Amino acid sequence: MSDSKTQTYIVVGIVASFAILSLLFLYVIMQSGVEIKEATVLSIVNGVATSALVLVSAVNMMESKKVRGEMVRPHLSLEPSFFEFNADGEIAGFNSLNLVNSGTVARDIEIDISIKEKSSLFYASSIGASERVQIWSGEPEELGNNVIVAIRYKNIFNKSLQEVLSININSLNNAKRKFLPIHKS
């Protein structure tokens, strides 16, 4: 279950428990013979309703913060380019691999790329929205069976983030999947 659903259920449970306990408290007091004025009862009900509103507002603020965090997050992806074609005119491989950002600016980017059990470490000070950096170039045979790219970076609020992107070439070949060229708009 997602964290937001869990939080929502917890808040609903707390509000319901608080309301039930308040009503139980009023019932016990009324049964004991103590006379309570109507204004006091209404004040207690108003307090319960206000507390419920505060809890619901707090959950709403937390959810809004999560949404804002996702809106200012860089969105990184791998983009193969410079394709090689076979005799049938189908894409047989690619000669270049780019790291593309389609979100907000990514800063202090550390890129670790693993190809055929060899690792290369790169650094870029920033990648803006709709920008790309070339992280590999060579012959398709050099790629091996799996390309793994680990990226550590910071968003515009200087929050450290991490992603691992991969292309499993062996899996694509076994499933007889073909690369599709990417057309820039």
Instruction: Please indicate, yes or no, whether residues 124 and 54 belong to a single structural domain of this protein.
Output: no
Token duo for residue 106:
């990514």
Instruction: Please indicate, yes or no, whether residues 165 and 115 belong to a single structural domain of this protein.
Output: yes
Instruction: Please indicate, yes or no, whether residues 86 and 116 belong to a single structural domain of this protein.
Output: yes
pLDDT at residue 160, as a whole number: 93
Residue 179 lies in a domain: no
Please give the tally of structural domains in the chain.
2
- Provide the CATH number for the domain around residue 112: 2.60.40
Average pLDDT of every residue of the chain = 83
Instruction: Please indicate, yes or no, whether residues 40 and 82 belong to a single structural domain of this protein.
Output: no
User: Three-state SS for 97?
Assistant: strand
pLDDT bracket for residue 140 (50, 70, 90): confident
Per-residue model confidence as pLDDT tens digits over 98-109: 999 998 999 999
Per-residue model confidence as pLDDT tens digits over 119-137: 899 999 999 988 999 999 9
Token duo for residue 123:
């650094």
Which residue is listed with tokens 């999947």?
177
Instruction: Please indicate, yes or no, whether residues 53 and 86 belong to a single structural domain of this protein.
Output: no
Which residue is listed with tokens 């007091």?
29
pTM: predicted TM-score of the whole model, two decimal places: 0.65
CA angle, 56 as apex, 47 and 46 as ends, to 5°? 15
* 48 phi/psi in degrees, rounded to 5: -65, -45
Domain region containing 152: 76-174
